[in-house]
Structure 1
Amino acid sequence: MGLFKKKQVFYAPCSGKIIPLCEVNDPVFAGESLGPGFAIVPSKGELYAPKNGVISAIFPTKHAVGMTFEDGSEVLFHIGIDTVNLQGEGFSTFVNSGDKVKQGSKLVDFDLPFLESKAIDSTVMVVFTKHKEVSIESKTVQANEALDITCK
């Protein structure tokens, strides 16, 4: 991705509070083992495409979605911590692997009260798998709100 930082317009994939990835309660994501990014503590259980792109992966358990954007960058959205154990319960997907989607397309609904009833952390991790650094301001956002992200 070069030596220079590049600002990107990226739309919030869900509503909630943006937090640094290092603050999530999962050492794999917090340690950026899968890549840098940020997380959103969701206020609504809806995940949207933040840019135009292609669905590169959707996990059978519906809790994680991979996207490749038109600029070649890739993002993994991981909804919740240990949600793989739910085997898809509480999740509804609206896309399949290989689908071309536009910014703002709904990708997944997830049932926040259900996750809470199972004592599951619903934080949504947004991981940029092809970048070395990602910076974004911590703030409360609405889904599909434009965000300024700097990627290196």
Structure 2
Amino acid sequence: MFFKKKELEIVSPVKGKLISIKDVPDITFSEEMVGKGVAVIPEENELYSPVCGTVTTVFPTSHAIGLTTKDGIDILLHIGLDTVNLKGEGFDVKVKEGDEVKAGDLLVVADFEKIKLAGYRLETPVIICNPEQCKKLTYTKPQAVNKGDVIIKYLK
């Protein structure tokens, strides 16, 4: 008897506009140097976990969070572009390394107004850092998304 492998899902961390990673105006992301994924231009300040798993990294500057799913997929949520330069200003992280999270758990509250006023872009990449661990990746086409909408499906 054969069982069809179930596609696993990564959901949007925030309400906004889903765009192709190729359309992110930062070559580190658009040329997939960090990994494969998509980006969301956020319309709300609260960002939620796109997966169930463990918080593996909270960057000291609070602009990015690394998560690892139970099946070993490493996810990077990078809030805005070049926002490392804000040195944590405008980011209120609600989790710490080692925390177990479910998809939809609050990770960060970002002050996007402050981030924009400081001259930074809001595109928020959601990246699979070890895409070679996935047999197949499928991306949702660019569109308006709500928090929790599926943005990436993968087969492990």
TM-score, length-scaled by structure 1: 0.89
Shift of 1:7: 3.0
Residue identity opposite 2:138 in structure 1: S
Residue identity opposite 2:145 in structure 1: V
Change (3 A) 1:46 1:128: same
For each residue in 1:45-104, what CA deviation from the matched residue of structure 2 results, as whole angstroms up to 9, or x when unmatched?
Answer: 221112210001000100000000112111001011110010000000000011111221
For 1:140 and 1:112, the matched residues in 2 are separated by 18
Aligned residues: 148
TM-score, length-scaled by structure 2: 0.87
Q: Is the 8 A contact 1:55 1:101 kept in 2?
A: yes
Residue identity opposite 2:54 in structure 1: V
Change (3 A) 1:87 1:18: same
Residue identity opposite 2:23 in structure 1: E
**Which stretches of structure 1, 4 residues or longer, exceed 4 Å deviation after superposition?**
none
SS at match of 1:41: strand
Residues 76-85 or 125-134, more deviating: 125-134
Change (3 A) 1:20 1:146: closer
For 1:90 and 1:49, the matched residues in 2 are separated by 19
Q: Superposition pairs for residues 70-109 of structure 1, below 5 Å?
A: 70-109=70-109
Shift of 1:149: 2.1
For 1:146 and 1:138, the matched residues in 2 are separated by 12
For 1:75 and 1:98, the matched residues in 2 are separated by 14
Residue identity opposite 1:138 in structure 2: P
Task: Determine what percentage of the aligned residue pairs are the same residue.
Answer: 36
Change (3 A) 1:99 1:27: same
Stretches of structure 1 that go unaligned for 5 or more consecutive residues are: none
For each residue in 1:84-127, what CA deviation from the matched residue of structure 2 results, as whole angstroms up to 9, or x when unmatched?
Answer: 01000000000001111122110011111111111210110111
Q: Superposition pairs for residues 131-142 of structure 1, below 5 Å?
A: 131-132=131-132, 134-136=137-139, 137-142=141-146
Residue identity opposite 2:123 in structure 1: T
Residues 58-67 or 126-135, more deviating: 126-135
Backbone CA RMSD of aligned residues: 1.8
Q: Superposition pairs for residues 2-151 of structure 1, below 5 Å?
A: 7-132=7-132, 134-136=137-139, 137-147=141-151, 149-150=153-154
Shift of 1:148: 5.2
Stretches of structure 2 that go unaligned for 5 or more consecutive residues are: none
SS at match of 1:28: helix
